[in-house]
A and B are shown apart, each in its own frame.
Chain A
C-alpha cells in the first residue's frame, strides 16, 4: 500500500487565491512526522512545513498552513494568497517511528502535485 498518496497530479489556481493540496498517509506507527516540500523547476527541494503526530495544533508557516486531520490520516497543505512564484511541484512526505537520536528516520515521498499559479 502507498504510504503517502497525493491524488492531484496538477492544480491550477489564480493569483491571490488560496489553494489546498491534498495528502493522505498510511502508517500504523503512533509516532510520525509529516512534511511538505516545494520543488521549483530548478530542482532544489525547499522545506515548507512540518506537522508531528502528537502536535495538538495545525502547523502554520507564513502563507502555508497544514490541515491535519489525524483520524482521516490526511495532511493537506493550504497556500493562502497564491503568488506566481508558488508555481512548482509540491511533495508531501512522512517520517515514521520518530526517535530522539540516531540515524535512520528516512522520508517517504508522495508522487507530488504540480501547482500552476495563473494571472
Chain B
C-alpha cells in the first residue's frame, strides 16, 4: 500500500518568512495530492490540492509543487502570518483501481506543526 513521509515534524518561522513542508510517497499509482490544515480541536481543512498531470499550483500565498519522477511534493507558504499556525498534513490518493489498488482513500503523512511567531 501507499506510504507517505512528511518532513519536518515541526517548523518555526518568523512572521513574513516563507515555510516549506515536504512529503514523499511510495505508490507510483498515486495521482492526487491534497494538503490539509488542522487547527487545534478542529476538522482538517483542505487548503490546496494537485493532480499528477500538473507540476505546480498556486493559490494566493500557498503553492504546491509535484515531482512525479522523484515521488515528492511540497507545500510552500509565503509571507506567513500568525494565523497560519496549525498542523499541516499532506496526503496521497489514487483515482485508478487498476490492478486492484483501491482508489479514493487518502494516505496521510505524519503532520507538521507550523508555528509563526509575530
Instruction: Say if A and B assemble together.
Output: no
B interface residues with partner A (beta carbon < 8 Å): none
